[in-house]
Structure 1
Amino acid sequence: MKNISFTASIIGAILLSSCNKDDNMDMTNAALNVNYPAAYVINGEDATISVIKLSTNEVTGTIPLMGTGTDMIMWPHHISSHSNHLAIGVPGMDLSAGHAVTGTMSGKLVVIDATTGSIVKNMGLPVMNHNTIYSPNGTEIWVPQMDMNGKILVYDATTYALKNTITVGMMPAELTFSSDGTKAYVANGDDDNVSVINVASKSVIATVTVGDNPVGAWTGSDGKMYVDNEDGQSISVINVATNAVDQTIVLGFMPGIASHNGTKSELWVSDPMAGKVHYWTWDNAMMMWMHGGAFNTGAGAHAISFTTDGSTAYVTNQTANTVSVVNVTNHTVTKTINVGKKPNGVVIKM
């Protein structure tokens, strides 16, 4: 989290005054009934969620999050899902131009019902958070705290009581889990490393040195984690079994996010400045990732989410205020969907 200085502006002041420890919020989109496979897109500037029906690739509903007073939610960022709930990280500031932050402000843990769009929990946090994510078994919610004294807060997913506090590195951004659910990975931006946590014991079992300013260790179904190093302009490929870096992929651009498609054996990395997505294919002879090509999506290309069969991808374009629907086989955009302002995270529920 380097190079960009954060100043507490009017927006920050509003959020600081609004983050109570336990602020429940009742804001239901009464017309919403998402009983079909859908993509949920976080619109950061609008503080809304666009719901895209996968069968038609049309926006079928918009979930408002902003609220007022102590319930105010500003600049929601990334989103994850478990069962019928969606968990949202709310850092309270715009991270669309990069994840470099200096200074500390409060964040929020928000959980919504994926069917109705009603807010189940809206809880203030001591420090801003890049994301909020359910544990693999759904019994806990893990939240990184973006501070120089980095911590992970682990909450009970039913009572929202704080269960554990885990010390990690400086300015932890995204927290993710390995595909087998046994380890959590935390990208420590100011330490240029990744903390590896045993999910069962809640203890840090390894610290892996990666590139300059890592933002997230993105989960691969191949037993790897793919770390996007924002300032280093590279991807560090971590072997989950050994907690060692198997390969460093030099990009030549600042990555937005990395996303592994196990079905197609491809690794996609968004290039926000060029409005593109690059893809790599696995070379069995060389035992490494090789660059396969790139294609245009939209200005500010960022988050990438694949359908479960790996055939279709949804890419958020933060500057264009759109989502690109991509045919994975031929790497072409089949549709461009208008959503809210500065779309960031996206998650698919089948």
Structure 2
Amino acid sequence: MLLKDKTITFKLLTISVFLLSSLTYSCKNKQKDNPEPIAVDDFPKAFVVNGGSNTISIIDLNTLSVKNIIQLTEVGRFPHHISLSPDKTRLAVAIPEFDFTLGHALLHNATDKKGGVTIVDALNGNTLLKMPLTNANFNAAFTNDGTEIWTASATHTGEMFIFDAGTGVLKTKVALGADPSEVVFSKDGTYAFIALGETSFVYVLNTKTKNIEKTIKVDPFPTNVWAVADGKIYVENKIVNTINVIDPISLNIVEYLDLDFPPGQMAFHPTLNELWICQANQTKVAYFERKNNLWSLKGTITTGDDAHAITFTKDLKKAFVVNQRGNTVSVIDASTHQKTNDIQVGSYPNGIVLKE
């Protein structure tokens, strides 16, 4: 009888060990299958917003590989462009519900599309705020002091919407005009600039009074404005293949560039004294050098399909180019002007910011 009890006890112990081992193995497998927690902030990173897959890819700048993915599906579709708060803790993304790769002309027929802004915690990927709009919008930008979010509705009667960045409460609206697009700020934060695509004007708004300070005459049908490292505002004109340069102090046009390609987003490299310009819908970035008060083409760099957005690292050693139809980010050695890597991201990436 004692021997039988010992046998039963041994069998029960064996079964318990087996079940415990199986459970431990199963848990380990589940942990392995899950992505790494986003709340790891010990590496320099790039945030790439992907319009087609409704995600933000987080690239580790040390390994040049995608470390994590933030899902944005629950906040809306076709996230467009991305900005980082001055304190580097929050991300702002426009949620236009419209696929801008179809072309801005089709936007005017998509009157049922709603817009919006989502604020995402840059440390853990959580959604902090969602601000709905009645129409599609192009981007959402933090003011230089981080207290407000500015975004414009891209319609024939476009308006600038100004939200409290902490609460998401709408503070005020400013009437603009036909087809406003990207909103950017001067380096000192005094002015906001926005191009009105179905006019020949860039509007300048005072960030304190929220009034329109000036309307600046530019080339017809300006498609965007960009604030670059030299402190000036560059007006992108895809229709006529030109760039107008605005001095944010005098609020006047001070330079013009005539191009043989439609320009996209651009960035300035102060050490090399070069202006790098994405060739819209193409596979190249052109770089210009300023000599004798004139910009001259120095060369081009092959990137990926549809070079769409560009930024330099803080040390100016690398450039990152978002290839919208290639679903990649190209890494370029700034000094040699050679591509060194292509990083696969989500579908239809359209914006990038670096947190270093």
Pick one of 307, 322, 325 that aligns with 1:319: 325
- Mapped to 2, the partners of 1:163 and 1:291 lie a distance apart of 44
Q: How far off its partner does 1:30 sit?
A: 7.3
Give the C-alpha shift of residue 317 in structure 1: 0.6
Matched, 1:80 2:87: no
CA deviation vs aligned residue, 1:275-303 (integer Å, no higher than 9, x gap): 000011121xx212221111100111110
Q: Does 1:50 align with 2:57?
A: yes
Question: Does the CA contact (< 8 Å) of 1:53 and 1:60 recur in 2?
Answer: yes
CA separation of 1:346 and 1:304: change in aligned 2, threshold 3 A: same
Choose 263-272 or 154-163, whichever is displaced more. 263-272
Q: Which of 131, 152, 161 does residue 153 from structure 1 map onto?
A: 161
Q: By how many angstroms is 1:258 displaced? A: 1.8
Per the alignment, do residues 262 and 201 of structure 1 end up closer, same or farther by CA in structure 2, a change over 3 Å counting? farther
- Could you state the TM-score of these two structures normalised by the residue count of structure 2? 0.85
Change (3 A) 1:327 1:30: closer
1:132 aligns with 2:137: no
Aligned to 1:337: 343
Aligned-pair distance for 1:307?
A: 1.0
- The CA deviation at 1:210 is 1.6
Root-mean-square deviation over aligned CA pairs = 1.6
SS state of the match for residue 78, structure 1?
A: strand
**What corresponds to 2:193 in structure 1?**
185
Matched, 1:96 2:101: yes
Q: What is the CA-CA distance between 1:208 and the residue it aligns to? A: 1.1
Q: TM-score if structure 1 supplies the norm length?
A: 0.87
Shift of 1:97: 5.1
Q: Which has more radius of gyration?
A: 2
Counting aligned pairs with the same residue, the percent is 37
The farther-off stretch of 171-180 and 204-213 is 204-213
Partner of 2:245: 237
Aligned to 1:231, what secondary structure does the other structure show?
Answer: coil
Q: How far apart in 2 are the matches of 1:263 and 1:240?
A: 22
Q: Of 60, 66, 86, which aligns to 2:67?
A: 60
- CA distance 1:180–1:264, shift in 2 (3 Å): farther
Q: Which residue identity lines up with residue 79 of structure 2 in the other structure?
A: P
Structure 2 vs 1, CA of residues 97 and 213 (structure 1 numbering), >3 Å: closer, same or farther? farther
Partner-residue secondary structure (3-state), 1:96: helix
- Higher relative helix content: 2
CA change 1:215–1:249 in 2 (3 A) is: same
Q: Does 1:167 align with 2:175?
A: yes
C-alpha displacement at 1:74, in angstroms? Answer: 0.5
* Count of paired positions: 317
Code of the aligned partner of 2:214: A
Deviation at 1:158, TM superposition (A): 1.3
Q: Is the 8 A contact 2:36 2:68 kept in 1?
A: no
Task: Indicate which of 251, 258, 276 corresponds to 2:259.
Answer: 251
Determine the structure 2 residue equivalent to 1:22.
none
Higher relative contact order (CA 8 A, sep 6+): 1
Rounded Cα–Cα distance in structure 2 between residues aligned with 1:196 and 1:92: 27
1:240-267 deviations in whole A, cap 9, x for unaligned? 1121111221122222212222343211
SS of aligned partner of 2:244: strand
User: What's the CA shift for 1:337?
Assistant: 0.5
User: What are the ranges of 5 or more consecutive residues in structure 1 without an aligned counterpart?
Assistant: 1-28
Is the 2:226–2:234 contact (alpha carbons within 8 Å) kept by the matching residues of 1?
yes
Report the Cα distance in structure 2 between the residues aligned to 1:290 and 1:346, rounded to whole angstroms. Answer: 27
